[in-house]
């Protein structure tokens, strides 16, 4: 099939996020200016640079919130900092609970029965149960086009200032993917765990015969 995105795709569900897969999940913890804590998952999330390490996540607009902003981005605008926690398989249900559209000011750590641990370089707490946390300072919020002004789309870029890695997932100085057990977002209601893992070495120039010359 082929369709132009301004036209109807004619399928039962929008296939857009079912074909950009698998997506890592950034579980964003933040505080507002009064110190009220928030936690929510975002799968329009990825790393974007090494030096300094930077990440981005995107917040789609929400017409049910007065200013159209979800709580995480509203908090990050106020304080300029946030943490990204990794969602391991055993945290899947808790992560899902924190996606509830709770009113601003509701602490989703409490909603999901999660433990707060302090961060070192930012004020927001991290998820103690999560094996990895990236502490982030806001670099830039980029306004993105939106088909409805009441639902603004925005991308948040953050500089990763510190990283927590649980010793239990480090084996011989390498992050063990089996112990990390991250989940990723697929389309519809689906998620995936990492199954088969394989390695490839990047080719150098000129290509060798073994590189498919
Ligand atoms: C796995 C998962 C991934 C999500 N990814 C996004 C996303 O990339 N962008 C977005 O705006 N909302 C996303 N959501 C929905 C938000 O988590 C939801 O709107 C939440 O209530 C926002 O919380 P907040 O207002 O406390 O930030 C996702 C939900 C789930 C369960």
Q: What is the CATH number of the domain that holds 77?
A: 2.30.110.10
Pocket lining: 43 vs ligand 1, CB cutoff 6 Å: yes
* Dihedral sign (CA 35, 39, 40, 42): positive
Atom 20 (ligand 1) nearest CA: 99
Answer whether residue 7 is part of any domain: no
Contact present, 133 and 55 (Cβ < 8 Å):
no
Residue 208 confidence (pLDDT)? 86
**Residue 133 covered by a domain:** yes
Q: Which residue has the tokens 């999940």?
A: 25
Distance between Cα 161 and ligand 1 center (Å): 23
| Ligand 1 centroid, distance to 213 Cα (angstroms) | 45
Does residue 128 contact residue 110 with C-beta atoms inside 8 Å? no
Tell me, yes or no, whether 193 lies in a domain: yes
Q: Please check whether residue 170 lies inside any domain of the structure.
A: yes
> Residue 2 falls within a domain, yes or no?
no
Q: How far apart are CA 63 and CA 150, in angstroms?
A: 6
In a domain, 12, yes or no: no
The reply to whether 5 falls in a domain is no
- pLDDT digit of tens for each residue in the chain (213 aa)? 999 999 999 999 999 999 999 999 999 999 999 999 999 999 999 999 999 999 999 999 888 887 788 999 999 999 999 999 999 999 999 999 999 999 999 999 999 999 999 999 999 999 999 999 999 999 999 999 999 888 899 999 999 999 999 999 999 999 999 999 999 999 999 999 999 999 999 999 999 887 766
* In-domain check, residue 6: no
Q: How many domains does the chain have?
A: 1
Atom of ligand 1 nearest to the CA of 71: 25
Task: Tell me, in angstroms, the distance from the centre of ligand 1 to residue 209's CA.
Answer: 46
Position in ligand 1 atom list of the atom nearest CA 100: 21
Q: What is the pTM of this model?
A: 0.96
112: which DSSP letter? H
Residues 6+ positions from 47 with CB-CB distance below 8 Å: 53, 54, 55
Domain that holds residue 111: 21-211
Spatial separation of the C-alpha atoms in residues 128 and 35, rounded to whole Å = 18
Q: What pLDDT score does 64 carry?
A: 82
Identify whether the C-beta of residue 42 lies closer than 8 Å to the C-beta of residue 64: no
**Residue 115: its pLDDT value, please?**
98
Collapsing DSSP to helix, strand or coil, 107 comes out as coil
Which pLDDT score, from 0 to 100, does residue 213 have?
62
**Structure confidence at residue 210 (pLDDT):** 76
Considering only CA atoms, which residue is closest to atom 28 of ligand 1? 42
């Amino acid at each position: 099939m082929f369709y132009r995105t301004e036209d109807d795709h004619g399928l039962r569900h929008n296939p857009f996020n079912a074909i950009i897969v698998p997506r890592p999940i950034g579980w964003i913890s933040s505080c507002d200016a009064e110190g009220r804590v928030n936690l929510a998952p975002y799968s329009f999330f990825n790393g974007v640079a090494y030096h300094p390490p930077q990440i981005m996540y995107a917040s789609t607009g929400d017409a049910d919130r007065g200013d159209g902003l979800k709580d995480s981005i509203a908090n990050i605008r106020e304080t300029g900092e946030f943490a990204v926690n990794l969602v391991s398989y055993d945290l899947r249900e808790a992560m899902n609970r924190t996606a509830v559209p709770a009113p601003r000011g509701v602490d989703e750590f409490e909603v999901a029965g999660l433990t707060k641990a302090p961060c070192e370089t930012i004020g927001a707490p991290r998820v103690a149960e999560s094996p990895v946390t990236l502490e982030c300072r806001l670099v830039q919020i980029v306004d993105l086009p939106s088909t409805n002004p009441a639902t603004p789309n925005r991308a948040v870029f953050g500089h990763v200032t510190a990283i927590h890695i649980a010793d239990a997932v480090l084996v011989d100085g390498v992050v063990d993917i089996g112990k990390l057990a991250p989940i990723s977002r697929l389309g519809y209601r689906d998620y995936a765990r990492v199954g088969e893992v394989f390695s490839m070495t990047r080719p150098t120039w000129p290509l060798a015969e073994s590189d498919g010359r």
